[in-house]
Amino acid sequence: MNRNEMFRLVCALLRDSPDSEDVEITWETNPFQALGKDSHDGIVFACLFSERLGIEIDPEINPLVDDQRQRARTVGELVDWCLERLPANKKEK
C-alpha cells in the first residue's frame, strides 16, 4: 500500500460520523480540531485499522496522539504512523 492509498483509507476511517462527511480532510488536518475527534475516537480508529489490515495494535496506543511530542497527529503524520505498522514496512531491530 502506498502513501496515497493509506491517505484514502485513513480519511475513510476518520469519516465515521455524519458530522465529518462535509469536512475537507488534507494532509495537515488535525482530527481533534477539524473533525471533533477525542481520545476514545483514537481507540476506535485503531480497532478499525487493525480489523481492515489484520494488524495488531497495542491497546495502550492512541494513533491520533503523538505521545513523544505531546500533541495530536496531523492526518499526514497519522498516514505515516499507519504505514510504519504494515508488515512490509517494519524494520528489523
- Determine the pLDDT at residue 25: 94
Task: Note down pLDDT in tens along the chain; length 93 residues.
Answer: 999 999 999 999 998 766 667 889 999 999 999 999 998 999 999 999 999 998 888 888 999 999 999 999 999 999 999 999 998 776 544
CATH number attached to the domain at 3-89: 1.10.1200.10
* Whole-number Å distance between alpha carbons of 93 and 11: 30
- Determine the pLDDT at residue 17: 64
- Determine the pLDDT at residue 92: 46
Predicted TM-score (pTM) of this structure: 0.87
Sign of CA dihedral 90, 54, 66, 33: positive
Residue 81, number of CB atoms within 10 A of its CB: 17
- Determine the pLDDT at residue 15: 87
